[in-house]
Amino acid sequence: MQRYFVEPDLFSENEITIVGDDVHHIVNVMRAKEGDEIYVSDGEGRSARAALVVLSAKEVKARVLEWLDERSELPIRITIGQGLPKGEKMEWILQKGTELGAYSFLPFSSERTIVKLDAKKEAKKLERWRKIVKEAAEQSHRAVLPQLLPPSSFREVLKTAGNYTRCAIAYEKEGTTTLHEVFGEMKAEDTLLVLIGPEGGFSPEEVALAEANGFLPISLGSRILRTETASQYVLACASYQFERMNDTDE
């Protein structure tokens, strides 16, 4: 069954209003009709099964049939701080990261970043990235729509450390501290920011600066991962640590 995200203020206890591009998708692509059922989420954790009651070119209205108790989110909220990669890798990172449960994404430029966002094209690029995140969240039946935070510099990102329970920076030369140790000190609802470098990784000076600002250098295993793989490793490990192991305990 198709899932759609709508703004929270378009939800009521009995009715949901859908506007924007999703109207075209429902009416012209899916060729839906009155009575068809869909899943709808407000992007903040509230979801419902609903039946279409009004379809027009401007909006679609649906009647709430059932409020859902979904558990599709990671118990801890992970923000992926991603050094801007070359080509279309960022799109892949956003898509797969959303599927694996990232809470938000924070793109940044650092010393070894090659690609530079053109100020004139940045708005269009961010719009495309948000669309990718939304479609991936719908496909993977997320109840929370991940945030795409404004692109920042490496130093600006370091200033946000106080917004999170724990902060870490992935560094290939870190030989001892692992994700397992970080996760072992966290509990449900805690927040974690993990910084992933661009293709060239981080310089020793950047790692030292991050450490001085409260970031813990961590290893992502004994193999060197590509930048587009590293965030997926982090999220997969979090799923195992906080979801699969807990399921086994139950």
What's the rounded Cα separation, in Å, for the pair 200 and 203?
Answer: 8
- 205: exposed, middle or buried (C-beta count within 10 Å: 0-12, 13-18, 19+)? exposed
Lowest mean pLDDT among 21-30, 112-121, 161-170, 211-220: 112-121
The span from the first CA to the last CA of the chain, in angstroms, equals 29
- Burial, 203: exposed, middle or buried (Cβ in 10 Å; 0-12, 13-18, 19+)? middle
pLDDT digits (tens, 9 = 90+) for 135-153: 999 999 999 999 999 999 9
Q: Does 92 have pLDDT greater than 50?
A: yes
Residue 247 makes CB contacts below 8 A (sequence gap 6+) with none
In this model, does residue 248 exceed pLDDT 90?
no
Segment 53-72 shows an average pLDDT of 91
**Total Cβ atoms within 10 A of residue 121:** 9
Whether domain 77-249 has CATH 3.10.580.10: no
Per-residue pLDDT at 157 exceeds 80: yes
State the DSSP code for 110: -
Query: Would you kindly state where each structural domain of the chain is located, as residue ranges?
Result: 3-68, 77-249
Q: pLDDT tens digits, residue range 215-232? A: 999 999 888 999 999 999
Question: DSSP character for 150?
Answer: P
Kindly tell me the burial class for residue 165, based on how many C-beta atoms sit within 10 Å of its own C-beta (0-12, 13-18, 19 or more): middle
Query: What CATH number has the domain spanning 3-68?
Result: 2.40.240.20
Cβ atoms of 165 and 191 within 8 Å: the answer is yes
Instruction: State the average pLDDT over residues 161-171.
Output: 96
The more confidently predicted of residues 60 and 176 is 60
